Structure 1
């Protein structure tokens, strides 16, 4: 009821809810970001919230009491939401949703809430994703630990599940997104951001380099557009630990955000070639548009020649912001990029 009272005393009309991975406690969030389902914002009245409260409490208690009996391969606890609505939204074989429900023994949900309390939360998200070919399809998107994805790849493929590895600190990401919203309003150029750093370092760039997932943001807006993404996987030994997620706003086609993450991979020639291939995809896949400016963050001391490789392969201007240290405040990083964009705009 605490969350209901928050709704009654504020102008916020949407809610996010999830289970704490560590304790199994049901957590309710009120957020100005709103809830999204298949690109449509879900807004609820106070009365609907009150109806939800009983259902969520009942289901949450059930999961908490029966955690030990859940299948061992599905230890990640999801959020809870309207199963019937979500299942109907899936364009996967008719038997699959029921089978998934029987296997997972939980209700699927949708949320893009980043918890400010703990980075141990994991979510399941139902939404639309846009493929490179421009066709639209709906997927069950599983946001979970990288180790889960690696272990149960076959299951995800069987049920048409797009799995993204997320180990993030929500507060840092939220602050970054707010800052990027301001950056995006300064330029009409497409902006590429490459992040390079070891994923084992929790306080590297963006505070955690497991990040392989971002949101598309409207120019000059404090709100999010529907997110679209495409995950590239490479099979070679040299590149299999790398991934890149390309995301772009459908309404504002010039804005593109991309991240490349490193997992203890040395800067060899195959690695440079791999990054170059990613950047060609990053630069040219969306409607023939290209990134004019690329910002590289992270420790590039072991990546000699990388800047030249990227510049030659993409034709983009390469900028490496100068920062005081790797454990910097995200707002400082955003200001550095913003200043660079302003300077380019004045040329």
Structure 2
């Protein structure tokens, strides 16, 4: 009898942004995970290309990344981004579990910007909330247009990848910090602020149970364009200069580059902070009795100076999220450990197992 050994390599976790790709693949058993391959690349894109040409271009660049960084196999777990999802918090009466999906579909039919028949629906139970004298069930509705989902899958196929699951970014984020060896308390309620290319995601969660979810539609791409516009630079040069400042452990007020970049992005950071403040107020009113432990910052923009800015602006303890703390051994490359939060979503995707959310 021939025994076939199960692969010790995880599927490739792929976070696909509008202009970038972040990929992580793990190796080893669940208790002894290490990073096998890891990459983050900006796409070279032509704005004049059609959607079909653009997707073919991205697929070709992903194939090159897979080859250059020695990823094993071509099974992938990807996720839908903020620009691909419709999200709505819905309050329902107390209902049996098997009836919630039906009622959520009715709610979706009234709220979706496209016909229900063209939607792929999911929902996350967010727990019980008090509304006046009544107890309601808070549910987070997630929907994706089937055309968008098909395009996403077609792009993966063009890249030579086989999708074993399509996840959502918030679930991937939480997976990195749940049941790990880091100092995030597993019995605490935390706020996760994840900076992506197109949006900043605000998640309140009790362990892996999402209580509140919101996309603030400003992210890394908006910061890059703000620098390009304010300093009258080509976008590629603006991205390069902003990366220098983002990678700096502290801001230097006497440094002309630091001053110019921060002045260019200050209004966007203030807007994001104000939106997060509103989310914090909503959480405190809606989920009374669930004390917030800390705010964990992840994603492309997570850096020591941003943590300091947010802690001061929000009057809340902020911590830089490091997804590698859940691993047996960390990567040794300095460039990888620089701003580790940028690997969070792709790491969480690679960690997904069949029995997980």
TM category, shorter: 0.3 to 0.5
Q: With CA pairs under 8 Å and 6+ residues apart, which has the higher RCO, 1 or 2?
A: 2
Give the TM-score taking structure 2 as reference length. 0.32
